[in-house]
Amino acid sequence: MATLCHPAFRIMIEKFGGCDEYYTEMINAPSLLNNGQFEKYYTDPAPVPEKIVWQLTGKAASPLIDAAALLCRLPGIGIDLNMGCCAPEIFRSGAGIAWMMKPVSEIQELVCGVKNVLVRYEAESGIHRRLSVKCRLGDDSFTDESFFSFIELLVSCGVEQIAVHPRTRKEKYREKPRYEYAEKAALKCIGKAGVVVNGDVSDRQSFERVTALCPDCTGVMIGRAAVQKPWIFAELRGRLTGGKTVDLEEAALSFIEDVQRYQPPEFWRTRLQRFFAYYSQNFSFAHYAGTKLMNAKSPSETAEALRLYFSEVPADRTILFP
């Protein structure tokens, strides 16, 4: 979800009723500590600061702990340590899912260190900040013992919520998620931490299937499907029925305006390209529309490409919910 989980995207989802929590893009700990040029954009909690989860990434414990000490003073739910990203460049750097393969002592240093930061902050301010971790099953050579030992280690260090994407590092999105691992993790964590299941939830049918398979999980995390269908949370809550419609053109044009409002010009093109790679899947001529939107060189060109498409295929402009 890098380049996607920014204020403009959250605003779009909120217009359809919102969701319970918004994880930010991964915030690189060393860049944050060094006052990187663009860090202020990653730490903008708009439009719902109270729903923000600050997602941290990095290869070493010390800067991650120091970054958590800064972020816990911002509004929001708490701090999330990303131990699940399997992008090759992230893994090779020693961040993301690489943490699942590090020595136990190193993992303990990080997780317990961040927990201590949050405990101290609560003692000073009276404000509780949750500690969460997002992970996968591990490398392709993972075993049940290695995965559940990792879960137990997180809980012993004070992690309060664990989001499990039940695939291995190399499986990415090719293989079906093994939801039984999320459910078994939830059972092991009852009374100690909540377990959120993530992976391939894209509509009501898949949502109901996953929640039936994982009845003891405390939540469902949705990523890519929410980019294609920012109204998915409203759909799952039954708020889009009885002839209600979604205006795809209006929603997309508002998103383009908000990207310009909340992101630096250097980010405009990549943010729009990444978003419309998913959003254009709603269109009858997805490849044609997606190519036009990918090739747009500016927000104004992107908006013009959208208007032209809907003038050519007016039936695609709205989605009707029975």
Q: Which residues are annotated as a binding site for FMN?
A: 55, 134, 165, 223-224
C-alpha to C-alpha distances, 316 to 281, 284, 320, nearest whole angstrom: 11, 7, 10
Residue whose C-alpha is closest to residue 203's, from 260, 282, 261, 125: 282
Torsion of CA 229, 232, 233, 237, to 10 degrees: 160
- CA 55/CA 235 separation, integer angstroms: 26
Q: Name the catalytic one among 5, 85, 157, 189.
A: 85
Measured CA to CA, the distance from residue 230 to residue 9 in angstroms comes to: 8
Alpha helices (H) in 157-285, listed in sequence order: 179-189, 204-213, 224-228, 232-236, 248-262, 265-279
Sign of the alpha-carbon dihedral angle for 29, 35, 38, 41: positive
Distance CA 272, CA 294 (A): 8
Handedness of CA 82, 85, 89, 94 (dihedral sign): positive
Crossing angle for the helix pair 248-262 and 299-312, nearest 10 degrees? 180
Render 210-233 in DSSP notation, one character per residue: HHHH-TT-SEEE--HHHHH-TTHH
Query: What is the three-class DSSP state of 54?
Result: strand
**What are the angstrom distances between the C-alpha of 59 and each of 102, 164, 183?**
10, 20, 29
Question: Is 85 one of the catalytic residues?
Answer: yes
Handedness of CA 168, 172, 175, 177 (dihedral sign): positive
- Report d(CA 224, CA 279) in Å as an integer: 10
Annotated binding site: 55, 134, 165, 223-224
37: left (phi over 0), alpha (psi -120 to 50) or beta: alpha
Which residues belong to the active site? 85
